[in-house]
Structures are given as C-alpha cells and as structure tokens.
C-alpha cells in the first residue's frame, strides 16, 4: 500500500471529524451546552501569520524563519467562512469577531467583511461584526473595511512609550503607526474603537497610567481602553503567574490618578468588567481571565484558520468542520454536527485553573493564540 501523505500543518493540533447526527432538529437558536450556556459569539481566525512577534503570543525563538505556517490551500476560503458563519448564526450567534494572527494580513479581507455583513439573524437583524488587529496596517485599510460594513474595531496596543512598544512587538515596530491606525478608524466613523493592552508585570505595567491618560486626552469617551491579564494560553510563551498583574491592581493604580466607579455589564457573557471615570472622561474595561474566571457565561466558539472548531481558548482538540465543508456535506448536516458538538461542550478551563484543579490536559499540546485568535 502507498503511504498516505498528510501535510505537517494538519498534524499540529488534534481534530476529530465531527459526527453528523441522523435525526437532528433544525437549528432553533436555543442551543445550550452541558452547562446551559448558549452559543452567541463566533471568533474567526483568518490567518495564522503575523508581522509582530509579541513574546506573550508568538515568541521569536519559536516563530522564526523555519516555522511552517499553514499553506494557503488549507485556509478556509471566504465563501467557506461565510457559509460556516451562516450556520452558526442559525444556532444563535449574533456576534462575529475576525482575528488571527494578524487579520489585516489576509488579502482582500474587506471582501469577507462584505459577505459577513450581508448575513442576518433569524429575526432579520444585522450581525455585530468586529475585528481585532495590531493596527500596523489599519491606517491603510480602515476606509475599505468601513465601506464593506465593519462598524467597530479593537486595536491591540501594549504601550505608549515607543521603546517599550518596539520591545514588546519584538520587530521594532513604531507606536506612531498604530496611533495613526486608530485615528484612521475613528475618522471612518467606527465606534466605539477599543484598545487592548496586555499587561505584563515588570514589562509594561508602568505604561498603564500614561496610556490611559493619552486615550482620555486624545480621544475622550470615543475610545475604550481595556486591560487584559497576561494569560497562560498555548505552550510557547513561558507564562508564569509572577508576570500577571491582577486587574484589581490595575483598577487601584488607575483610580489613584483618575477616580473610577463600576458600571453594569452591557450583556451576559461579556468578558470585560466595565468602569467609568468619575469626571466623565469615558470608560475602561478590565479582562481578568486569570484572576476571575468567567467560564460560567462563556458563549464563545472559535474557528481556526483551517476550519477547526474549538470550544475553549485553552482546548487542545478541535472539531474538523473543514472536513465536512469540503466533504460534500449539506448545510443541514453541518448545522446538525455543530449543534451536537456544542450540546456536548463542558469546557471551563479558567474556572478549574482558579480552583487549582486545571488538568494539564491529556498531554496534548494546547492550541496557540495566533492560530485560534483572541
């Protein structure tokens, strides 16, 4: 017998071909997992490539010239992504987030935005579509993305100080270009623009107040700054708890300079805890993925660049939807498979980590952030 050739990229994370149940009811939008959590949010990674090498995500030593990124034909096409998104929408998803890698490196991304913006929920409503980007080419792309139907954007920015920022992206990329990207997004009318800062104790925690001050002074309430706890995603970033600055400390440090009061969440399952400047300077958010698990309301699914469905950011095993998409399955069959996968979901990694019982897993390598998206 001849050898079966399996491209290396397909071997990096285990994925099962999903089972198609025989007598599934059509999607009702009422799908719930084993812990009663609905499916509301789909994060779609459109590329595993990135022009930055943030050490907490794609450390240079691992993601070097020899690293094999996914070959182009293994990526889902825009049509495949839109078809999959439509089936998730039928199951209750109302929010889509494009991510990566760096999503703006995927050629003609505005064409995908245009296709996704045409989707409607069963009630006939447009979807909430957003994008997370490192901002490096946002200045150039903002107008086309807005014209295609992107209404809001999240830009990652870990420091205002140029030297600190260049060190953190590890490719010597200047902060001024990202700030121009934010300006460009605001000029197109995208709102709100959110800015995400991953805080690493000892690396950029001294930038919390300067960045907050800059966002308040330069933009006012039109830009929402969010502080993210450094997470133990993947297996390459050498994470240790000592480098996590708890959100409570972020709020404490900020409120010494700019007094804050808590705000109610906008929606169930929202990852950020909201705070408001007492002087009317706008709001900030803190995302406490490490110190305060929010698995109980987690309604997010993630679709990898090559069409594998992951039910948790810390999963090591995906569900190979691409096999169904390219295997001649009907929409009904794929929707039924998605329904079954979600109904069996019981992931709650952060809660277990918090309780000190996080299983190191089955020994399988956990999925990397640049592959699955944030």
Judged by beta carbon distances under 5 to 8 A according to partner kind, the member of ligand SF4, ligand SAM, none in contact with residue 373 is ligand SAM
Residue 233 within binding range of ligand SF4, rule CB under 6 A: no
- Name which of 104 and 129 has its Cβ closer to ligand SF4: 104
Span near ligand SF4 by CB under 6 A; candidates 18-26, 50-58, 212-220, 328-336 = 50-58
Determine which helix (DSSP H) or strand (DSSP E) holds 97, and give its type and residue range. strand 95-99
Is residue 301 within 8 A of residue 42, CB to CB? The reply is yes
Q: Nearest distance from residue 298's CB to ligand SF4, in Å?
A: 3
Q: Nearest distance from residue 343's CB to ligand SF4, in Å?
A: 15
Count of CB atoms situated within 10 Å of the CB of 117: 17
Judged by beta carbon distances under 5 to 8 A according to partner kind, the member of ligand SAM, ligand SF4, none in contact with residue 58 is ligand SF4
Token pair recorded at residue 120? 């409607």
- Name which of 82 and 132 has its Cβ closer to ligand SAM: 132
Pick from 134, 203, 204, 288 the residue near ligand SF4 by CB under 6 A: 134
β-pairing, 223-229 vs 283-287, is: parallel
Residue 102 within binding range of ligand SAM, rule CB under 6 A: yes
Report the alpha-carbon distance of residue 95 to residue 130 in Å, rounded: 8
Judged by beta carbon distances under 5 to 8 A according to partner kind, the member of ligand SF4, ligand SAM, none in contact with residue 196 is ligand SAM
Residue 169 within binding range of ligand SAM, rule CB under 6 A: no
Report the alpha-carbon distance of residue 258 to residue 279 in Å, rounded: 8
Pick from 181, 285, 318, 373 the residue near ligand SAM by CB under 6 A: 373
Q: Give me the residue whose beta carbon is nearest to ligand SAM.
A: 374
Long-range contacts of 161-165 (CB under 8 A, 24+ apart): 161/207, 161/210, 164/203, 164/204, 164/207
Q: Nearest distance from residue 148's CB to ligand SAM, in Å?
A: 18
Span near ligand SF4 by CB under 6 A; candidates 87-95, 204-212, 276-284, 295-303 = 295-303
Please, which residues have CB within 8 angstroms of residue 188's CB and are 6 or more apart in sequence? 142, 143, 145, 146
Determine which helix (DSSP H) or strand (DSSP E) holds 185, and give its type and residue range. helix 175-187
Report the alpha-carbon distance of residue 7 to residue 89 in Å, rounded: 31
Report the alpha-carbon distance of residue 366 to residue 201 in Å, rounded: 24
Judged by beta carbon distances under 5 to 8 A according to partner kind, the member of ligand SAM, ligand SF4, none in contact with residue 129 is none
Residue 198 within binding range of ligand SAM, rule CB under 6 A: yes
Residue 230 within binding range of ligand SAM, rule CB under 6 A: yes
Residue 182 within binding range of ligand SF4, rule CB under 6 A: no
Judged by beta carbon distances under 5 to 8 A according to partner kind, the member of ligand SF4, ligand SAM, none in contact with residue 294 is ligand SF4
Token pair recorded at residue 50? 């990135």
Nearest in space to 92 (alpha carbons), one of 267, 338, 325: 338
Judged by beta carbon distances under 5 to 8 A according to partner kind, the member of ligand SF4, ligand SAM, none in contact with residue 233 is ligand SAM
* Helices vs. strands in the chain: H and E counts, helices first: 11, 13
Residue 101 within binding range of ligand SF4, rule CB under 6 A: yes
Residue 131 within binding range of ligand SF4, rule CB under 6 A: no
Residue 301 within binding range of ligand SF4, rule CB under 6 A: no
Report the alpha-carbon distance of residue 144 to residue 111 in Å, rounded: 9
Q: Nearest distance from residue 85's CB to ligand SAM, in Å?
A: 18
User: Mask 347-366, x = binds ligand SF4 (CB under 6 A)?
Assistant: xxxx----------------
- Name which of 208 and 311 has its Cβ closer to ligand SF4: 311
133 sits in the region (left: phi over 0; alpha: psi -120 to 50; else beta) called: beta
Residue 325 within binding range of ligand SAM, rule CB under 6 A: no
Is residue 308 within 8 A of residue 321, CB to CB? The reply is yes
Q: Nearest distance from residue 54's CB to ligand SAM, in Å?
A: 6
Cα–Cα distance list, 190 to 10, 96, 255, 280 (Å): 37, 16, 28, 21
> Rule CB under 6 A: which residues touch ligand SF4?
50, 52-54, 57-58, 100-102, 134, 156, 294-295, 298, 300, 312-314, 347-350, 370
């Amino acid at each position: 017998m001849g050898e079966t050739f399996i491209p290396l990229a397909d071997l990096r994370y285990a994925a099962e071909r999903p089972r198609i149940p025989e007598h599934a009811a059509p999607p009702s939008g009422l799908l719930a997992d084993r812990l009663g959590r609905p499916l509301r949010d789909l994060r779609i990674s459109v590329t595993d490539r990135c022009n930055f090498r943030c050490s907490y995500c794609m450390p240079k030593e691992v993601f070097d010239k020899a690293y094999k990124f996914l070959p182009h034909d293994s990526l889902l096409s825009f049509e495949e992504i839109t078809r999959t998104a439509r089936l998730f929408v039928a199951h209750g998803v109302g929010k889509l987030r494009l991510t990566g890698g760096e999503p703006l490196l995927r050629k003609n991304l505005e064409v995908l935005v245009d296709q996704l913006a045409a989707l409607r929920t069963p009630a006939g409503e447009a979807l909430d579509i957003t994008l997370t980007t490192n901002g490096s080419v946002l200045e150039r792309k903002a107008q086309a993305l807005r014209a295609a139907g992107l209404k809001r954007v999240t830009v990652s920015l870990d420091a205002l100080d140029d030297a600190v920022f260049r060190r953190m992206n590890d490719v010597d990329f200047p902060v001024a270009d990202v700030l121009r990207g934010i300006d460009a997004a605001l000029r197109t009318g995208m709102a709100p623009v959110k800015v995400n800062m991953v805080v690493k104790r000892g690396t950029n925690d001294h930038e919390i107040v300067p960045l907050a001050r800059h966002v308040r002074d330069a933009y006012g309430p039109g830009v929402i700054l969010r502080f993210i706890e450094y997470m133990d995603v993947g297996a390459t970033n050498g994470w240790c708890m000592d480098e996590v600055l708890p959100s409570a400390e972020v709020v404490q440090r900020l409120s010494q300079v700019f007094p804050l009061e808590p705000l109610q969440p906008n929606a169930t399952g929202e990852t950020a805890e909201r705070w408001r400047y007492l002087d009317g300077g706008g709001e900030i958010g803190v995302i406490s993925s490490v110190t305060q698990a929010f698995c109980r309301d987690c309604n997010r699914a993630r679709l990898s660049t090559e069409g594998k469905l992951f039910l948790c950011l810390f999963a090591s095993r995906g569900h190979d939807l691409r096999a169904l998409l390219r295997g001649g399955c009907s929409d009904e069959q794929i929707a039924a498979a998605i329904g079954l996968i979600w109904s069996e979901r019981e992931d709650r990694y952060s809660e277990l980590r918090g309780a000190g019982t996080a299983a190191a897993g089955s020994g399988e390598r956990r999925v990397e952030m640049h592959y699955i998206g944030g």
